[in-house]
Chains A and B, each alone.
Chain A
Amino acid sequence: EDKVVQSPLSLVVHEGDTVTLNCSYEVTNFRSLLWYKQEKKAPTFLFMLTSSGIEKKSGRLSSILDKKELFSILNITATQTGDSAIYLCAVGSYRLDSGGYQKVTFGIGTKLQVIP
């Protein structure tokens, strides 16, 4: 059974702090690792990583994947109150019998609260 485990489950920081969110996984036929941000409604896509050791960056957010150790981290520097959200890690994998569809397994998420 595919599994995605995130830690910590929740985190409270002050504005300006740097945070690191962790994601470890066990999946068959790994294809990609994805990070989403979920505020009050729909998850929105942040990053997709497919290769080890290559950092993806978008402003104050960055992420890296280690395919040997089966984990990824999401870093947020100089946090702002607008970063408060649940951050979801997901892993894409392929199945030979699914007509090309690639299953995406989600972790429970890390709830980040940034206080002024």
Chain B
Amino acid sequence: NAGVTQTPKFQVLKTGQSMTLQCAQDMNHEYMSWYRQDPGMGLRLIHYSVGAGITDQGEVPNGYNVSRSTTEDFPLRLLSAAPSQTSVYFCASSYSTGFSKNIQYFGAGTRLSVL
């Protein structure tokens, strides 16, 4: 059972480049989220989706776009990379009913460096 799969695991970008972080889950979860984790800051929500075709902003959305065309996939796009976007990015998914909504299943993360 693969769970939540993120690619790539590592990426180095130059300032101004764009790229897409991929995320796929095979648990048929309705909810999916993107977080970034920075030292001393904890995990912060970038964008989330409650189902195919529905996305919304989290607390740090600037510089990122998302789309959700299928239940399984939730890619995160960096439009024009900046050094402030150097971070570890986690994709997560969860069920959509009851208290299970709060239990996030995380991918292994993407470590991104922007030079």
Contact = CB atoms under 8 A, between A and B. Distances in A.
B109 A92 contact: no
A34 B92 CA distance: 15
For chain B, what secondary structure do more than half of its interface residues adopt (helix, strand, loop), or is it mixed? strand
Interface stretch (B36-44, B68-76, B77-85): B36-44
Interface in B5-59: 31, 35, 40-45, 48, 50, 54, 56
Contact of A31 (B42, B44, B90, B99): B99
Given A41-B109, A48-B99, A50-B99, A99 B90 contact: no
A42 B40 contact: no
Interface residues of A, number: 25
B96 interface: yes
B54 A42 contact: no
A29 B48 CA distance: 19
Given A41-B109, A42-B106, A43-B90, 13 more contacts: A4-B42, A42-B4, A42-B108, A43-B106, A44-B106, A45-B103, A48-B99, A48-B103, A92-B99, A92-B101, A100-B101, A101-B50, A106-B42
Interface of B: 4, 31, 35, 40-45, 48, 50, 54, 56, 90, 96, 99, 101-109
